[in-house]
Structure 1
Amino acid sequence: MPDYDIAIIGLGPAGSTLARLLNKRFKVIALDKKQSFGTEGFQKPCGGLLALDAQKAFIRFNLNLPKFILSDPQIFSVKTVDLESSIIRNYQRPYVNLNRHQFDLWLKTLIPGTVEVHHDTTCKKLEKTAQGYQVTFEENGEIKVITARYLIGADGANSLVRRTFYPDHEIRKYLAIQQWFQEDHATPFYSCIFDSSITPCYAWSISKDKSFIIGGAFEMKEANQKFEQLKHKLTRHQFKFGTLEKTEKCTVLCPSKFSDFICGDQNIFLIGEAAGFISASSLEGFSYSFDSAEILSGILNDNLNDPNKAYQKKTLKLRLKLWTKIIKANILTSPLLRKLIMMSRVSHVSISSGNE
């Protein structure tokens, strides 16, 4: 018999949500790279904006966000900058500005004590066995091995679960680079930045806790060079870069076709970004992490005969929604179509001072 019913690899928003929602009758082990508290160890580089769909998940979960994970200020619009046409528009966006690392740690505190959580661990190897899956991980310098009936990949863009069992399902990847600077703008703001000569995806800026974050998703080979070009161009549009505080880098997925979304099979399940569940138009992944974890928890809790088939079926609506985000991304990253949309001023909110 396997040691555990369920092994969850990764405790970001997807993994922590699943661990919290699973029925207590299951024997569950969860492995996570992050430490259980503090600012040491692994931290996920992320702008930390909670979109409306993710906020709706908290309504369903009957959860409120604690004050200590919120960042200052809370901003209600996004300045969209088209560097190729020099058009700037402002659009209403009800984001919640938060500290991503504190958010992740808080979500982990909601996991019930019936789940065996291992912090600050590294998953080394995954193998299929006659009765389930064998997981080899390192903890405090010691190699440990466990077995489980169900294997859950909640381990993000570089998912070991996806790479091990679905190596032929490659998905488009970019290198996300973020730099944090001392905030020097008189009025803090968010921005979304497009320039096809710099990135086929997009870039962003976020004001957060007296810091100004500038970031973007770039093709791997020229990422650092393109990032520097981005900053240089932005100085012409009143972007100010104060004292550099830190630089962050990570891989980010950007699905380009419907087959990029992989749900799993043979008692393997992928949730969140590991499944490719991330918006191609905004790189927003919180809402899809919550949604996929919620769907899977219901299936496993109901003890269905073919949980993989049920998960495939019940995530269809979510995957179709993500497919529309691919179409939207293709429109937004087209210089001509983007220019026409922005010139139309549809949904644009004028700034009363006239400073756009």
Structure 2
Amino acid sequence: MVVGCGLYFILTAVIDFNIDEILSNRAETVQSSLHQNKITLPFHSPDQTIDIQPSNGQNVEQQFSDTTIYAASEKSMVPARKLVFPDRVNGRTYKVTLVLSHLEADDFVGVAFWFMLGTFILIILALYFLNRKLSATIWNPFYRTLKELKDFKVDQKAVNRLSSSTIDEFDQMNNVLNQMMRKMTNDYANLKEFSENASHEMQTPLAVVKSKLEVLLIDLNLSEEHRKQVQTAYDAASQLSKLGQTLLLLSKIENNQFFEKQPINLNALVAERLDELDELLAHRNIEVVRDLQQSFVVNMNSMLADLLVNNLLGNAIKHNVNNGFIHVTSQSSRLIF
């Protein structure tokens, strides 16, 4: 845009220079006609382009300037260039004024300006679409890599290599990402194996410890004091066993190993578990108020759904009081205990 404005002003200056040259040539012609007495003085042309009047003692110097002149074709004042210079004829000094309209030149400048502006806009549009096309071509390997990274899962056994690229920088990035993905997959597999093995190996000796403690608890020769100590050890071993199972379960949940999902009707699942707990509820004289008329279906893993309901009912019973009650309500989007 700056270049276009610069060209506009340069073009205007060149046109002014050319008009000044034309005025200078006309001035020589007028002077020649004056000295040959071909012009009756004073003189004023009807089209206002030549005006020769006595200077009346005024100091007249030759100068170019901008002015306006009435154009009959336009029926309005139009811009023009004016040349004023002195000339002495028959011992008398005259002020000669020559005026030349540059309406046509201004029209040309206007056309040139709009042409340059249009060309500039076309160039900008062409550069914009060309840049978008080049950007799409250049960045296509990057977006392809991004899509493959979104589809990557750390628990998948075979890691697909990221596509190679003809662009060195993207190719190097893909190589580094391939190494990182392989390491993440290997680390995850090792951690998963360690967690499963540790849980399994821990459960075996705990089972042995609990079985031995159970034998001691049923020993009639065991004193009451020793029986309490053995019961405490048995409870601690049971708690440790449950802790190991819980940690293993949490590890599987965090690693999204329960990926199989299906629609689960929690109303039916809660009603089924309540029926299984009838004896325990009757033993503690806990009343259950069921309001399970509205179906509540969620899309989740069946094992986790069963674990969720068992934990909720277990806590409701464990933290309740004798002769208490449990109120279960189902809505379209939630289950309230």
TM-score past 0.5 threshold: no
Query: Which of the two has greater strand per residue?
Result: 1
Asked which structure has the greater CA Rg, the reply is 2
Give me the TM-score of the superposition, normalised by structure 1: 0.16
Point out which structure has higher relative CO (alpha carbons under 8 A, 6+ apart).
Answer: 1
